[in-house]
């Protein structure tokens, strides 16, 4: 028996089989039909995906318009829908985080306010999961954490904020602002520590009070250097770098002045202390000069 006849014979044994009615091209035709159906489904899915992305961009534009008009609740809903329709639409995610952050009030202790700050941080972190080097999200987290760390005072949150500014420097070392913010954070921690040590000393020495502008007693000074010396030196270095990158950076000069005064609390020599205060005063004069020149410039068209 030939191979063909054996196949026909075997097929004819199946109930209802009619091999003589099945042409040779029937199998490929069925395959082609299935392939066409699959292709149609893929085209349909692509079309739906395209429609979703178009709708997401439309919602993003509506959200931006609402955001600019300070209609934050409306903007947030538009951004959330845009994000759901097109998870890869990064601007929808960034605007959503920014809309939460814009409503956060630094220092307000209400649960709703804290939730807004937390939502902003979480949305920015979702951006970083998709794009770890997104500077807008890195700066956004650093900024909102700094604001949240003030009330209630949370030094760990200040340090976390600083880590994001350091991340920015790793990615873009020629941008002066992250250097400035690290200096501000270092001063904030050192200033708070200085006040706490002075207050503790004054509680124990009622008849020998230390004023804010007095030199620290030797024992207190040693404690201050031990806890905050490295922090003050770091802050000074970062602010000096910010000014190097932006010579008229008056805000950086103002905080450098403050850190020089904290550094003066750490030195034993009266001459060295006076020299640091002199440098601080010179920075104040420089800030005044820059602000005066800026005020005299004609406004941009």
CA distance 190 to 235: 10
pLDDT at 191: 97
Q: Which runs of consecutive H residues, i.e. helices, occur in 104-217?
A: 111-130, 135-150, 155-171, 176-204
Per-residue pLDDT for 204 more than 50?
yes
Q: What are phi and psi of 2, to 5 degrees?
A: -75, 165
Mean pLDDT of all residues in the chain? 87
Closest CA to 224 of 254, 200, 256, 258: 200
Is 9 in contact with 1 (CB distance < 8 Å)? yes
Q: Would you tell me how many other CB atoms lie within 10 Å of the CB of residue 32?
A: 11
Is 254 in contact with 224 (CB distance < 8 Å)? no
- The predicted model gives 228-250 an average pLDDT of 98
Per-residue pLDDT for 36 more than 70?
no
Is 273 in contact with 281 (CB distance < 8 Å)? no
Tokens representing 74 are 């409306």
**b or e along 212-225 (b: 16 or more beta carbons within 10 Å of the residue's beta carbon)?**
eeeebeeebbebbb
| pLDDT per residue as tens digits for the range 81-128 | 999 999 999 999 999 999 999 999 998 989 999 999 999 999 999 999
Residue 9: band (very low, low, confident or very high) from pLDDT cuts 50, 70, 90 = very low
Tokens representing 93 are 């995610």
* Cis? peptide before 152, omega within 30° of 0: yes
| pLDDT per residue as tens digits for the range 170-190 | 999 999 999 999 999 999 999
- The predicted model gives 229-244 an average pLDDT of 98
pLDDT at 98: 96
pLDDT at 21: 40
Is 146 in contact with 137 (CB distance < 8 Å)? no
pLDDT at 30: 58
pLDDT at 35: 53
pLDDT at 7: 35
Residue 3: band (very low, low, confident or very high) from pLDDT cuts 50, 70, 90 = very low
What single-letter DSSP state applies at residue 215? P
Give the position of tokens 């602000």.
291
Is 64 in contact with 95 (CB distance < 8 Å)? yes
Question: What does the chain come to in residues?
Answer: 301
Q: Would you tell me how many other CB atoms lie within 10 Å of the CB of residue 101?
A: 20
- DSSP per position, 246-292: STT-HHHHHHHHHHHHHHHTT---HHHHHHHHHHHHHHHHHHHHHHH
Please report the sign of the dihedral spanned by the C-alpha atoms of residue 219, residue 223, residue 225, residue 228.
negative
Burial class of residue 259 in the structure, from the number of CB atoms within 10 Å of its CB (0-12 exposed, 13-18 middle, 19+ buried): buried
């Amino acid at each position: 028996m030939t191979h063909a006849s054996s196949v026909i014979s075997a097929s004819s044994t199946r109930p209802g089989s009619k091999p003589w009615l099945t042409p040779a091209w029937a199998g490929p035709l069925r395959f082609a039909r299935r392939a066409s159906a699959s292709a149609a489904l893929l085209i349909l899915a692509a079309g739906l995906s395209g429609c979703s992305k178009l709708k997401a961009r439309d919602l993003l534009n509506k959200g931006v318009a609402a955001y600019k008009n300070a209609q934050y609740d409306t903007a947030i809903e538009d951004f959330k829908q845009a994000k759901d329709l097109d998870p890869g639409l990064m601007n929808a995610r960034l605007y959503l985080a920014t809309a939460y952050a814009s409503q956060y009030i630094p220092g307000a202790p209400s649960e709703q306010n804290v939730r807004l700050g937390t939502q902003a941080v979480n949305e920015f972190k979702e951006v970083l999961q998709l794009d770890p080097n997104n500077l807008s999200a890195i700066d956004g987290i650093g900024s909102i954490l700094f604001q949240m760390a003030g009330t209630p005072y949370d030094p760990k949150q200040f340090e976390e904020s600083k880590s994001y500014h350091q991340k920015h420097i790793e990615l873009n070392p020629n941008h002066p602002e992250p250097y400035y913010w690290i200096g501000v954070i270092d001063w904030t921690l050192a200033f708070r520590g200085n006040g706490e040590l002075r207050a503790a000393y004054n509680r124990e020495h009622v008849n020998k009070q230390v004023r804010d502008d007095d030199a620290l007693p030797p024992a207190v000074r040693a404690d201050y250097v031990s806890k905050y010396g490295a922090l003050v030196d770091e802050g000074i270095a970062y602010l000096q770098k910010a000014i190097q990158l932006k010579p008229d950076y008056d805000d950086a000069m103002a905080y450098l002045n403050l850190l020089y005064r904290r550094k003066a609390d750490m030195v034993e020599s009266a001459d060295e202390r006076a020299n640091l205060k002199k440098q601080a005063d010179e920075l104040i004069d420089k800030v005044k000069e820059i602000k005066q020149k800026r005020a005299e410039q004609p406004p941009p068209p």
